[in-house]
Amino acid sequence: MEHRLLEYFIAVGEDLHFTKAAERLGITQPTLSHQIRLLEQELGTALISRVGKKNYLTQAGSILLEHARRVVYEVEQAKLEIGQISGVQRGQLRIGCSGNHLLESKLISFHRQHPGIALTVLELATEETRAGLLANQLDLGVVFLPLQDEQIISRPLYDEELVLAVSALHAYAELPEVTLEQLARLPLVLFPPKFYVRQLLDTACAEQGIEIRPVMELSTMESQVQMVLHHVGGTVLPASYAQTLTGANRRSEITVIPLAEPVPRKNVGLVYRSSTFMDPTLQAFIRHLTNDDAHPSASASKL
């Protein structure tokens, strides 16, 4: 079974759409369909079934996808290890992040030190980063912990806490801090429930018997801030992101207010597969992330 056929099948198995998979692979759709048929003939069973206009993995296809990902991952790890013997370093790192603000300053300083290494950073929910690591689509992640998976190693970086952002004209803007009870009385624009920041807030409120009912749910912090600027309501943000609203280019229209104890907080950590080969490029980035002195938000967020 050719390694190339496995890569083709993984693309189809993940997209379940031949045209999209072909575009991702840089080949034509008929060529891709032909290659999948060859793979099915070699295995003597159907891997993809079509019901109506949708494609689905057969039971055999699901089994192959799991093993194919493992094979491709091991081949990539072997290439990295062999490359180190040859003195060759990878030129790219793929990173999943629960919010680009968690990495912004680190990315800038790392790029200045290693301009030849391309960094691809995708803003993903924690579960999406976990899936990307296991599917060999990411090299590492920066997420809210814990992330429970026996195949993944977690390394704590710093603690992140939540804060309230309101219009500077809001009645709460003069308060030194806001309790969760006060928060619940506000019209709020929050993340949808699948996001960890929302789950963290909901859990903290539930522990005190408080229910939060947002007037709007939006998937990006930028859009939530826009709603604050337009007086739709307040929003709850990670403190490290809120710092970007009150830094050198301060938005005088927004006021950031700490939440009273018990403040919803969670650890931010670095995650990667336990079987990942630690080549010099990956080691350099991990060292950079774990250097507290180089992380401006760490000193503000650490407990």
Task: Please report the pLDDT score of residue 191 as a whole number.
Answer: 92
Residues of the chain above pLDDT 70, percent? 90
Q: Which domain CATH number covers 215?
A: 3.40.190.290
Q: What is the mean pLDDT of the chain?
A: 84
Residues 25 and 172 in one domain: no
Q: Which residue, 127, 169, 151, 126, is CA-closest to 267? A: 126
Name the phi and psi angles at 225, rounded to 5: -65, -40
Whether the per-residue pLDDT at 88 is higher than 50: the answer is: no
Q: Is a pLDDT exceeding 90 seen at residue 95?
A: yes
170 and 243 share a domain? yes
pLDDT above 50 (res 271): yes
Looking at the structure, tell me whether residues 43 and 113 fall in a common domain.
no
- The pLDDT value recorded for residue 297 is 43
- What pTM value is reported for the model? 0.60
pLDDT tens for 35-59 read 898 888 888 999 998 888 888 999 9
The reported pLDDT for the residue numbered 247 is 54
- Confidence bin at 147 (pLDDT 50/70/90): confident
Give CA separation, 23 vs 6, 103, 122, in Å: 16, 30, 20
Note down the domain range covering 228. 159-265
Rounded Cα gap, residues 99 and 119, in angstroms? 15
Residue 259 shares a structural domain with residue 286: no
Rounded-to-integer distance, Cα 197 and Cα 125, Å: 10
Percent of the chain with pLDDT over 90: 32
Considering its fold, how many domains does the chain have in total?
3
Mean pLDDT of 216-223: 91
Residues 39 and 16 in one domain: yes
Read off the pLDDT of each residue in 3-18 and give the average, rounded to a whole number: 85
pLDDT at 91 over 70: yes
* pLDDT tens sequence across 232-260: 999 999 988 888 886 544 557 889 999 99
Q: Which residues contact 79 (CB under 8 A, 6 or more apart)?
A: none
